[in-house]
């Protein structure tokens, strides 16, 4: 009988860090611990009290260290084991969440001379203040015909590293000048844990404009953007980018002090939170598509093929599964749209009814909406409340809904919004397949996927495909633990580890023939409007 | 000094009759009396308790007589005058509100053998059960190229007389067979008051498919529609249609008993409620446009010119002002759309805020919406929640709104809906002018026009025209009194009477240059979408 040994996975989300202790032989999640970040998201004021502009979203790196200090000892204690039983550690993180550090690895915001400068803090993924810089980069790259622009579907997001860095250069040149490296928070944690400065390919590839073949954008491009960017590649942007066939290193003295783990414990390269779920859900094969459905949605596809797919956010070789390309597409608003609706558009009578039944307003609306036949409401929506990420890549697009009559009820609108997100997904799936990239399996993860049966059935019906629902609510953390098990050498590769440790599906939704037929007609109408408002009639952009 | 003499005007609305006593020299409204109909609108059950289908809306004619019995004596009493002081009576009525009567003038619903048959009752203007019959009439008329169809913009409404009559023939052939005449409730009241059977041109012209030049649709058309309609014109449909240069007659014995007025008192021809407001507001000249803004909107234009204006509901010579053609256009939803919004889309926090401030939710939304700059919200709507009456004449069109983001607030949507109705109005105004019919003056009446300053300013800005706000809230009843004063011979014609007795404006809204400019751009976008969804992309109809 094998002695039980354990790996630890930590999922760094937007508001908290979640740590799980996993039995490396059985995959059982033995213990769990969560810590909310003390500073949460700083979108109104700095710790000094200074007001922040409205599109700012900052974080404090000390909060990330507190997660290590608190949750790792906590899971050991809960499982009544010692550090000797832990054979590996992996983390996953939001992205692009980037910070400036000095040559000692100290974030500038933790130094007295910079702590009142907002640009010295972590710029969280949803920090949107660098939109003008993103526009500038897109314009220049398009004008110069930069080859890397195609990889990202012809447009990059203000959430990515270079716009955020350029914003710092323009708004706080002293912070820029005194930055030794701009580093993803995930990679900074590798440094804190191991003492080694490594950069995980998945972050660099999706968010840093880096790719294995040609590296970062050329110095020519950088200096054309701003002469002060001269020489940034190799200095403030590290080229030590590693694929998932490598590891970040081993816990050093500082890492051991932070976590209570033994010096020498292997640490996997960090993974983007969404991607970490893939091994956890055993989505590791060519043609496997994972839907992650939350406030927004992220769709990640493994493929052996390399193709330019218009409007897809990018692909990275070895980024998630060594040997495969991983493509990423997104829908900028999903659950956020439903929340907007509930917050802004639900009448008091519905709130009262939900209260009387003791259920959430979302649940009440789902109950009512699930009684509607496909197409019964006569409503049709475009799911662009937060712009369109794929395949139109236009954050200035906005939501639309049509078909309202004086008899239209809130649940009908609610359902139309859900259906709109399903149609938006179908556009993405079709785009892949039309580009010659096959999709064999679809697996959905995230809270909405597990809770909302009506929505998942609608997705299966609209896509006319079976949808598997992933079995873990902590897919990110489990995925990180799986990478840790490979880093520990327990398994030879991610596929083998995932086959053993991943969660099995909890449910499979199969398309219902009658609904599939009805949705085919509705989707045809959606697609016409998608192309009309996305490409022909610029009214949404004109109105903004 | 002239002895004061009085005229009486009675406005028959959807739920009540409102009677005013007016000084025929000064125009002063000396007394007023209102009676709610005992049966209100019967849209759920007959008096027998029989359930009604959902699109039914019936009334009981006894309620109309009760208004005469109660309110006329009441205003005399309130003013301390006698019947000798009353020189004329006029009424106005909703339309098309039609009933079947026997040769004695008794409504079939008041006869024992028919009182349990729903088709024997008054079919109120908003009785919508005859939509299939309206569709059938439209289809046949279009196929046969019936010339009269152009007068009504190419399509007639299920609210009009012929669909309602055809519905009776099909659903209750015995009621049809035993009907001596189908008669507007307004004309039936003329008969009750004077003993003479006359038909007012404005009802026949707008709602009865009659016109001065060619009369009713041909017997050929009628029999093609249903062989049992053979010979209906001249029998069940009277051809004794009179223009406003005539009067209905004089109070007879029965009329005197009903009202307490003297036998011989002149009775004006009845007027459609909306049109009766025109003399009351002194809107009697060539090029004068009256907006009546309520749950829906009705736009009535006087013109010396006769033109076919595509999508306009009809025109009638001498119908309102002798010598002028009167055109009518409509917006099927205005206040109804705002009510839908308040009922279905306003969050509980807004209800609480309104309660705390002690104001209506409409008022709270107006307060918030009026603080927005033109175009600030990025929203644009099509005002088709209840279909489009003019100029697309398509009741299967539906509402649309676009521009929503996760930041969109209820007041922004509310304002976008108001703006949409303004754009809808501009389409109508432009349609007139592009057809060669001039509009010189615009005057708005109705509760919304008097209360909603933001909305009226938006209308002035969008139309880039001055908008006068009418001074009377009882415009219909005052207008009826003005017609009564002409019937009485106190004035030679309506223009002269209106000049003396009409109310002066209470307010004038002038366009604000800066807003006019901003709305020009927004209207351009609206018009593109209006044409796209109204003519090119049939998605709204496909979805229904």
3-state secondary structure A157-179: CCCCHHHHHHHHHHHCHHHHHCC
Under 8 Å between Cβ of B300 and B446: no
Q: Is B346 on the interface with A (CB under 8 A)?
A: yes
Signed CA dihedral, B363, B368, B371, B377: sign only? negative
CA dihedral angle for residue A517, residue A522, residue A528, residue A532, rounded to 10 degrees: -160
Residues of chain A in contact with residue B405, where contact means CB-CB under 8 angstroms, are 385-386, 398-399
Residue A172's pLDDT band (boundaries 50, 70, 90)? very high
Determine whether A2 is exposed, middle or buried from the number of CB atoms within 10 Å of its CB (0-12, 13-18, 19+).
exposed
Asked if B344 lies within 8 A of A380 by C-beta distance, the reply is: no
pLDDT recorded at residue A470: 77
Percent of chain A with pLDDT over 90: 71
Q: Is A404 on the interface with B (CB under 8 A)?
A: yes
Mutate to test the interface with B, among A334, A344, A352, A535 (most CBs of B within 10 A): A344
pLDDT recorded at residue A212: 85
Going by their DSSP bridges, the two strands B86-93 and B6-12 should be labelled as parallel
Average pLDDT of the residues in A477-500: 93
Under 8 Å between Cβ of A93 and A184: yes
Q: Is A338 on the interface with B (CB under 8 A)?
A: no
Q: Is A361 on the interface with B (CB under 8 A)?
A: no
Under 8 Å between Cβ of B406 and A385: yes
Q: Is A540 on the interface with B (CB under 8 A)?
A: yes
d(Cα B387, Cα A407) in Å, to the nearest integer? 12
pLDDT recorded at residue A504: 78
Of B340, B348, B410, the CB nearest to A351: B348
Q: Lowest mean pLDDT of A69-73, A354-358, A447-451, B540-544, name the range.
A: A447-451
Who has greater pLDDT, B321 or A460? A460
Q: Is B356 on the interface with A (CB under 8 A)?
A: no
Residues of chain B in contact with residue A401, where contact means CB-CB under 8 angstroms, are 400-402, 404
* CA angle in degrees (0–180, nearest 5) for B181-B186-B191: 60
Going by their DSSP bridges, the two strands A6-12 and A86-93 should be labelled as parallel
What are the backbone dihedrals phi and psi of residue B403, each rounded to the nearest 5 degrees, phi first? Answer: 105, 0
Residues of chain A in contact with residue B55, where contact means CB-CB under 8 angstroms, are none
Q: Is A369 on the interface with B (CB under 8 A)?
A: no
CB atoms within 10 A of CB A179: 26
pLDDT recorded at residue A472: 63
Residues of chain A in contact with residue B529, where contact means CB-CB under 8 angstroms, are 537, 539
pLDDT at residue A431 is higher than 80: yes
CA distance B381 to chain A (A): 9
Closest CA to A302 of A491, A186, A432: A432
Under 8 Å between Cβ of B533 and B382: yes
Sheet containing strand A399-404, edge to edge, reads: A380-382, A399-404, B399-404, B380-382
Closest CA to A61 of A44, A35, A78, A38: A38
Asked if A543 lies within 8 A of B522 by C-beta distance, the reply is: yes
d(Cα B93, Cα B18) in Å, to the nearest integer? 11
Span A279-321, pLDDT tens digits? 988 888 999 998 888 888 888 899 998 887 777 776 788 888 8
Residue A155's pLDDT band (boundaries 50, 70, 90)? confident
CA distance A510 to chain B (A): 25
Of B345, B399, B405, the CB nearest to A402: B399
Q: Is B354 on the interface with A (CB under 8 A)?
A: no
Kindly provide the residue ranges of all beta strands, DSSP E only, lying in A419-481, ordered along the sequence: 441-445, 467-469
d(Cα A229, Cα A223) in Å, to the nearest integer? 5
pLDDT recorded at residue B293: 82
Of B340, B405, B525, the CB nearest to A386: B405
Of A379, A525, A537, the CB nearest to B528: A537
Residues of chain B in contact with residue A344, where contact means CB-CB under 8 angstroms, are 345, 347, 408-410
d(Cα A347, Cα A356) in Å, to the nearest integer? 15
What are the backbone dihedrals phi and psi of residue A333, each rounded to the nearest 5 degrees, phi first? Answer: -140, 130
Span A102-112, pLDDT tens digits? 999 999 999 99
d(Cα B186, Cα B455) in Å, to the nearest integer? 33
pLDDT at residue A1 is higher than 50: no
Asked if B542 lies within 8 A of A525 by C-beta distance, the reply is: yes
pLDDT at residue A149 is higher than 60: yes
pLDDT recorded at residue B395: 79
Mutate to test the interface with A, among B331, B345, B362, B405 (most CBs of A within 10 A): B405
Asked if B375 lies within 8 A of A543 by C-beta distance, the reply is: yes
Contacts of B491 (CB under 8 A, 6+ apart): B485, B497, B500
CA dihedral angle for residue B186, residue B188, residue B190, residue B196, rounded to 10 degrees: 150
Size of interface A-B (CB pairs under 8 A): 137
CA distance B360 to chain A (A): 14
d(Cα B47, Cα B122) in Å, to the nearest integer? 13
Tokens encoding B395: 């009741």
Residues of chain A in contact with residue B532, where contact means CB-CB under 8 angstroms, are 532, 537
Residues of chain A in contact with residue B380, where contact means CB-CB under 8 angstroms, are 539, 543
CA distance A525 to chain B (A): 6
Tokens encoding A213: 């073949």
Residue A193 region, left (φ>0) first, then alpha (ψ -120 to 50), else beta? alpha
Mutate to test the interface with B, among A372, A400, A402, A413 (most CBs of B within 10 A): A402
Closest CA to A91 of A484, A513, A535, A518: A484
- Closest chain B residue to the Cα of A351, Cα to Cα: B348
Q: Is A346 on the interface with B (CB under 8 A)?
A: yes
Closest CA to B175 of B231, B118, B134, B240: B118
Span A360-403, pLDDT tens digits? 998 999 999 999 999 999 999 999 998 888 888 787 899 999 99
Q: What is the CA radius of gyration of chain A?
A: 23
CB atoms within 10 A of CB A214: 11
Where chain B has pLDDT below 70, the residues are: 1-3, 314, 472-474
d(Cα B29, Cα B19) in Å, to the nearest integer? 10
Measured between its terminal Cα atoms, the distance across chain B in Å is 66
Residue A2's pLDDT band (boundaries 50, 70, 90)? low
| pTM, entire model | 0.78
Q: Is B47 on the interface with A (CB under 8 A)?
A: no
Tokens encoding B89: 């009576």
Q: Is B337 on the interface with A (CB under 8 A)?
A: yes
Asked if A400 lies within 8 A of B398 by C-beta distance, the reply is: no
Contacts of B81 (CB under 8 A, 6+ apart): B6, B21
Residues of chain A in contact with residue B533, where contact means CB-CB under 8 angstroms, are 402
Residue A51, SS3 per DSSP:
strand
What are the backbone dihedrals phi and psi of residue B65, each rounded to the nearest 5 degrees, phi first? Answer: -65, -35
Going by their DSSP bridges, the two strands A288-293 and A441-445 should be labelled as parallel
Average pLDDT of the residues in A439-465: 90
Residue B508, SS3 per DSSP:
strand
pLDDT recorded at residue A473: 60
CB atoms within 10 A of CB A438: 13
Q: Is B403 on the interface with A (CB under 8 A)?
A: yes
d(Cα B292, Cα B449) in Å, to the nearest integer? 8
Helices within A195-231 (DSSP H only): 201-207, 219-225
- Closest chain B residue to the Cα of A522, Cα to Cα: B543
Residues of chain B in contact with residue A398, where contact means CB-CB under 8 angstroms, are 378, 402-405
Which residue(s) pair with A33 in the sheet?
A19
Span A174-220, pLDDT tens digits? 999 999 999 999 999 999 999 999 999 999 998 999 988 899 999 99
What are the backbone dihedrals phi and psi of residue B19, each rounded to the nearest 5 degrees, phi first? Answer: -115, 130
Asked if B532 lies within 8 A of A537 by C-beta distance, the reply is: yes
Could you give the count of Cα atoms lying within 13 Å of B418 in the half-sphere of its Cβ?
27
Of A348, A398, A403, the CB nearest to B403: A398
Which residue(s) pair with A267 in the sheet?
A89, A249
d(Cα A93, Cα A81) in Å, to the nearest integer? 26
pLDDT recorded at residue B1: 44
What are the CB-based long-range contacts (under 8 Å, 24+) for B145-152? B146/B217, B146/B221, B147/B214, B148/B209, B148/B211, B148/B214, B148/B217, B150/B308, B151/B211, B151/B308, B151/B314, B151/B315, B152/B209, B152/B313, B152/B314, B152/B393
SS3 content of chain A, % helix, strand, coil (to 5): 40, 20, 40
Under 8 Å between Cβ of A507 and A470: no
d(Cα A477, Cα A280) in Å, to the nearest integer? 8
Kindly provide the residue ranges of all beta strands, DSSP E only, lying in B376-489, ordered along the sequence: 380-382, 399-404, 441-445, 467-469
Q: Is A344 on the interface with B (CB under 8 A)?
A: yes
Closest CA to A59 of A139, A123, A137, A134: A123
């Amino acid at each position: 009988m094998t002695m039980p040994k354990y790996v630890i996975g930590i999922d760094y989300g937007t508001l908290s860090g979640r740590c799980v202790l996993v039995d490396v032989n059985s995959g059982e999640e033995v213990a769990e611990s969560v810590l909310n970040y003390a500073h949460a998201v700083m979108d109104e004021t700095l710790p000094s009290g200074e007001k922040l502009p409205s599109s700012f979203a900052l974080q404090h790196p000390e909060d990330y260290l507190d997660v290590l200090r608190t949750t790792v000892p906590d899971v050991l204690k809960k499982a009544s084991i010692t550090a000797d039983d832990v054979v590996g550690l992996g983390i996953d993180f939001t992205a692009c969440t980037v910070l400036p550090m000095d040559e000692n690895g100290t974030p500038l915001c933790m130094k007295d001379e910079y702590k009142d400068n907002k640009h010295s803090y972590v710029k969280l993924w949803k920090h949107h203040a660098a939109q003008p810089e993103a526009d500038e980069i897109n314009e220049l790259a398009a004008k110069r015909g930069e080859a890397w622009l195609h990889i990202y579907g012809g447009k990059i997001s203000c959430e990515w590293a270079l716009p955020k860095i350029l914003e710092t250069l323009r708004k706080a040149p002293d912070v820029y000048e005194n930055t030794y490296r701009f580093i993803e928070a995930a990679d900074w944690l590798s440094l804190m844990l191991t003492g080694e400065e490594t950069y995980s390919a998945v972050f660099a590839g999706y968010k840093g404009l880096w790719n294995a073949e040609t590296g970062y954008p050329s110095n020519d491009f950088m200096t054309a953007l701003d002469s002060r960017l001269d020489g940034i590649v190799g200095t403030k942007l590290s080229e030590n980018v590693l694929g998932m066939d490598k590891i970040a290193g081993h816990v050093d003295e500082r890492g051991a002090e932070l976590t209570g783990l033994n010096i020498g414990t292997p640490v996997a390269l960090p993974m983007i939170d969404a991607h970490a779920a893939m091994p956890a859900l055993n989505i590791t094969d060519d043609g496997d598509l994972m839907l992650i459905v939350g406030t927004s949605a992220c769709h990640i596809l493994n493929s052996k093929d390399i193709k330019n797919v218009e409007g897809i956010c990018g692909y990275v070789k070895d980024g998630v599964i060594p040997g495969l390309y991983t493509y990423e597409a997104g829908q900028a608003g999903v659950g956020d749209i439903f929340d907007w609706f509930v917050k802004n558009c639900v009448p008091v009578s519905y709130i009262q009814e939900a209260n009387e039944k003791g259920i959430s307003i979302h649940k009440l609306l789902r109950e009512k909406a699930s009684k509607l036949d496909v197409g019964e409401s006569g409503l049709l929506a475009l799911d662009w409340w937060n712009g369109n990420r794929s395949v139109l890549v236009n954050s200035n697009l906005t939501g639309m809904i049509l078909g309202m009559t004086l008899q239209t009820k809130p649940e009908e609108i609610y359902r139309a919004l859900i259906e709109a997100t399903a149609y938006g997904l179908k556009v993405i799936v079709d785009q892949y397949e039309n580009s010659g990239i096959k999709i064999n399996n679809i697996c959905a993860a995230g809270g909405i996927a597990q809770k909302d049966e009506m929505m998942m059935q609608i997705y299966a019906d609209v896509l006319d495909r079976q949808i598997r629902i992933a079995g873990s609510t902590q897919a990110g953390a489990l995925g990180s633990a799986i990478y840790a098990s490979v880093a520990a050498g327990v398994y030879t590769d991610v596929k083998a580890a995932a086959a053993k440790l991943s969660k099995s599906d909890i449910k499979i939704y199969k398309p219902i023939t009658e609904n599939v037929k009805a949705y085919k007609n509705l989707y045809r109408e959606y697609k016409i409007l998608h192309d009309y408002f996305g490409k022909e009639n610029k009214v949404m952009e004109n109105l903004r």
